[in-house]
Amino acid sequence: MMRALLLSTLISVPGLALADRVLAIGGSVTEIVYELGEADRLVGRDSTSSYPPEALALPDVGYIRALSPEGVLSVNPDLVVSEAGAGPVEAVDLLRAAHVPFVEVPEGFTEAAVRAKIMGVAEALGVPDKGAVLADEVSADLADARDAVTGEPKRVLFLLTAAGGRFTAAGTGTSAEAIIELAGGVNALDSFEGYKEVSDEAIAEAMPDVVLMMDRAGDHAISDEDLFSHAAFVTTPAAKTGRVVRMDGSLLLGFGPRVGEAVRELADHLSETAS
């Protein structure tokens, strides 16, 4: 409620809709700006904004949850549009104290939430009509993707990280659970909320048919061989069939304009892994 009030208050500020130096914070927000045809107004992005590829040419002001006022102000924005959860709080408060309009758009993992996010960005940019058109297009694409889902639901375990053989997985109320369910799957871990480190025993007891991960490299990555030879997974149905799905994280969890594409791709993967 407070975020919605803040958004409506800031949009009513005279001249805000005419902002021509816009900083986008959050991958889905950046995607929405591009889909609205307003990318020429962007002067920067955060480090999670990697799509479309041309966004990478914009100055990177840092990670959405570790922003610094100096980094944000370095691109001299006259409007910041952000996903919910930008921080730290002290940095955002300093920006608002510096009279930089800072709009947080609502977050959520349903069709209605995606529409609200699109409309929040469009209204902040002063192009609500474009937002309504885009929201309708995204809703139609998502409906088509969901209608195409077939087959028996698979138990899917989403791993956020697998560093050093310690596994952080998705529970209830997460974007991972939401996209799994939209694609016709079932979240294999429903005994806790959010993302948390889980024990080997909890994973084994969850009996996932499929392991879902972001396609990433570095410390958070793990090979299929190492994954399925680990005690947590060795007895699971997923290990017996080698079922791993890796997808681009911004597509999979972004819940932006490409949500229909994400559902379609994940559903296809789950169907392909069916025995």
Select from 134, 135, 85, 83 the least CA-distant residue to 112. Answer: 135
CATH class of 2-139: alpha beta
CA 167/CA 270 separation, integer angstroms: 22
Per-residue model confidence as pLDDT tens digits over 70-96: 999 999 999 999 999 999 999 999 998
Peptide bond into 77 cis (omega under 30): no
User: Nearest to residue 22, comparing CAs of 77, 73, 67?
Assistant: 77
Look at residue 13 in the predicted model and tell me its pLDDT.
Answer: 41
Residue 96: CA count within 13 A, CB half-sphere: 14
In the chain, where the domains are located: 2-139, 155-272
The dihedrals phi and psi of 188, each to the nearest 5 degrees, come to: -70, -20
Same fold, 2-139 and 155-272: yes
Architecture field, domain 155-272:
3-Layer(aba) Sandwich (3.40)
User: How confident is the model at residue 218, as a pLDDT?
Assistant: 57
Rounded CA separation 145/255 (Å): 14
Average pLDDT per consecutive 10 residues, the chain (275 residues; last block may be shorter): 38 54 98 98 97 98 95 96 95 90 95 98 97 98 96 95 90 98 97 96 97 79 90 96 95 98 97 63
Task: Write the DSSP string, the chain.
Answer: -HHHHHHHHHHTSTTGGG--SEEEESHHHHHHHHHTT-GGGEEEE-TT---SGGGGGSPB---TTS--HHHHHTT--SEEEEETT-S-HHHHHHHHHTT--EEEEP--SSHHHHHHHHHHHHHHHT-HHHHHHHHHHHHHHHHHHHHT--SSPPEEEEEEE-GGG-EEEE-BTSHHHHHHHHTT-EES--SSBSEEEE-HHHHHHH--SEEEEE---GGG---HHHHHHSTTTTTSHHHHHT-EEEE-HHHHH--STTHHHHHHHHHHHHHHT--
Residue where the block lists tokens 């700006």: 33
Cα(158)–Cα(176) distance, rounded to whole angstroms? 7
Between CA 77 and CA 38 the distance in angstroms is 15
